[in-house]
Amino acid sequence: MNKTWWKECVVYQIYPRSFADSNGDGIGDLRGILGKLDYLKTLGVDVIWLSPVYKSPNDDNGYDISDYQDIMTEFGTLADWDELVAGMHARGLKLVMDLVVNHTSDDHPWFVESRKSKDNPYRDYYIWRPGKADGPPNNWQAFFTGSAWELDPATGEYYLHLFTRRQPDLNWENPKVRREVFDMMHWWLKRGVDGFRMDVINMLSKAPGLPDAAPLGGSRHVQGSEHFICGPRLTEFLGEMKRDVLSHYDILTVGETPMVSPDDAVALTHEETGALNMVFQFEHMDLDRNFAEQGSQPWKLQDLKAVMTRWQKGLEGRAWNSNYLSNHDQPRPVSRYGDDGPYRVVSAKMLATFNHLLQGTPYIYQGEEIGMTNVAFPSIDDYNDVATRNVYRVQTQELGLDPQVALAGIHKRSRDNARTPMQWSGAPGAGFTTGAPWIKLNPNYPTINVEQALADPDSVFYYYQTLIQLRKANPIFVYGTYDMILPEHDEIYAFTRTLDGERLLVVLNFTATSPEFAAPAELAYSSAELVIGNYPVEAGDVRRFTLRPYEARVYRLA
Ligand code: TEU
Ligand code: CA
């Protein structure tokens, strides 16, 4: 397997709106990020991925872009951006930008032109169709509820939008669109960008004829997705992007790819032939999602083990995993896979051990490194996220769900769980802002915050720091082969990593109980040296021991 910097690095994701506010308007901004680079250096990460910072009317918090080559007014200016990237590079940090090119904002000048008339030169930049007698051109659904089509009165035709109606899909069949996107990518790369995280990049190619979809079922969680997930021209479009743009720079590329299998991922990221370095898969994120009810369901450790093992083995030697438990769209991992009550700190460390010991590049989402938790706001009015508000509206107004039940679902699933401001201190505004934050703080900021974490040698923060240092010092953390052991165990997730005659054993207790670990006979070792763990461990039998709640141990075997 080839050795590359993007396999060895650790990526930290920033959601700029919620990270650090430098001017007291309650909105995080670029100068706020600049002021925290030394904090990120202390943590030890190498790469920073910024969620979108481009001009946007913020229907979907920047994932609706109205100018790809300028900065969102509230976040600062291009000059601030230049200063930020210089500040990163001076500290040896790399910058990955979000590339959102499946769709634009409806405020983008291309769309403003496109909707004017059927013969406008920009008409074919988007996907327009006449309706059928009884409504939209087909039965596809949008991700954030409702039809994926919007009727535009100016021309009496519908345009396609897989996300909100203010996010019209670009027509990638049009070579002019591809040219515009590639030119824009060159422009940023020449300005100093070190890579791209590519939003819903596996949705660029839609099936010819845009046929009606089969009823929902299987792993397809949006009606119509079989006609736009990894569509017929996807590898061609990305191959063109690779030839035209990516291959000319030494960068990190990660595609966000909902609903893909390991085989799909290999097609996109194969060591020799793939267009991208890696993709974000969603199978582990979808285990606790009930698609039929747009709600939650309990997840089982057995399923998590099976999914992760399928990805680890499916990509082994052929492609590279990107490992994450958290991002700006997902509930907080400690509330979801761990315990946000008495075992918050140990379970956050156990999950960190898990994410950093899998083979692949680890991604950390802001606040994860101090064990930030979900939030339960008392009213729907406290929520900002367009997806959250849409689901609540449909559930309470169209499906007749009790508002309290709908709200309880939101507490579990809302994307705003990840978007409450970063908790820097216990001061009013949590050290995030001196003004009124754009979204409420999580009320636990007086106890869970960076200041507290930096003052406590036993904090989640320093555990992450140690994991990152271990990764840098031990190639086996990066390149070791993964093999699961004890596949049938309901409480323990255990696996080995092997490289050049060296072997690590990773033992993780995903429960608040105290299961016993017993090494399988075929795993031969007589001694084991603790590399890292989230509890003090005394000398004793290393083949058989009892785990404490959410305990994690990593041993080097001999
Ligand atoms: O998310 C794509 C995506 O599929 C999400 O809708 C995901 O299924 C959902 O958020 C899980 O709850 C990307 C961005 O990460 C997201 O923030 C954007 O809203 C979306 O694309 C549209 O650009
Ligand atoms: Ca600000």
| Six-digit token string for 309 | 């093992």
User: Do 518 and 397 contact (CB within 8 A), yes or no?
Assistant: no
* Euclidean distance between CA atoms 83 and 533, whole angstroms: 39
Q: Is the pLDDT confidence value at 219 over 70? A: no
Confidence of residue 475 (pLDDT cuts 50, 70, 90): very high
Q: Is the pLDDT confidence value at 139 over 70? A: yes
Confidence of residue 218 (pLDDT cuts 50, 70, 90): low
DSSP 513-555: S-PEEE--TTS--S-EEEEEESS---S--SSEEEPPTT-EEEE
Confidence of residue 9 (pLDDT cuts 50, 70, 90): very high
- Provide the CB-side half-sphere exposure for 89 (13 A, CA): 11
In this prediction the pTM is 0.98
* Euclidean distance between CA atoms 200 and 74, whole angstroms: 25
| Nearby residues of 140 by Cβ (< 8 Å), 6 or more positions away | 147, 148, 149, 160, 162, 210, 213, 222, 223, 224, 227, 228
Overall average pLDDT of the 285-295 stretch: 85
* Euclidean distance between CA atoms 125 and 78, whole angstroms: 26
Name which residue sits closest to atom 18 of ligand 1, judged by CA: 63
Number of the ligand closest to the Cα of 24: 2
* Euclidean distance between CA atoms 139 and 129, whole angstroms: 13
pLDDT digits over 349-406, tens only?
A: 999 999 999 999 999 999 999 999 999 999 999 999 999 999 999 999 999 999 999 9
* Euclidean distance between CA atoms 229 and 223, whole angstroms: 11
The alpha carbon dihedral of 425, 429, 432, 433 has a sign of: negative
Name which residue sits closest to atom 20 of ligand 1, judged by CA: 63
* Euclidean distance between CA atoms 482 and 459, whole angstroms: 28
| Six-digit token string for 199 | 């939003």
Q: What does the mean pLDDT of the chain come to?
A: 97
What pLDDT, on the 0 to 100 scale, is given for residue 42? Answer: 98
* Euclidean distance between CA atoms 316 and 262, whole angstroms: 10
529 is catalytic: no
CB-based burial label for 156 (10 Å; 0-12, 13-18, 19+): exposed
In percent, the amount of the chain with pLDDT more than 90 equals 96
541 is catalytic: no
**Catalytic-role residue among 256, 283, 416, 551:** 256
Overall average pLDDT of the 286-294 stretch: 84
Q: Is the pLDDT confidence value at 112 over 80? A: yes
Ligand 1 atom closest to 328 (CA)? 17
- Compute the distance from residue 403 Cα to the ligand 1 centre, in Å: 24
pLDDT digits over 396-428, tens only?
A: 999 999 999 999 999 999 999 999 999 999 999
User: Do 506 and 523 contact (CB within 8 A), yes or no?
Assistant: no
Beta carbons within 10 angstroms of residue 417's beta carbon: 27
Q: Is the pLDDT confidence value at 225 over 90? A: yes
In percent, the amount of the chain with pLDDT more than 70 equals 99
Number of the ligand closest to the Cα of 170: 1
Domains and CATH numbers, the chain: 9-100+324-375+420-473 (3.20.20.80), 109-160 (3.90.400.10), 478-557 (2.60.40.1180)
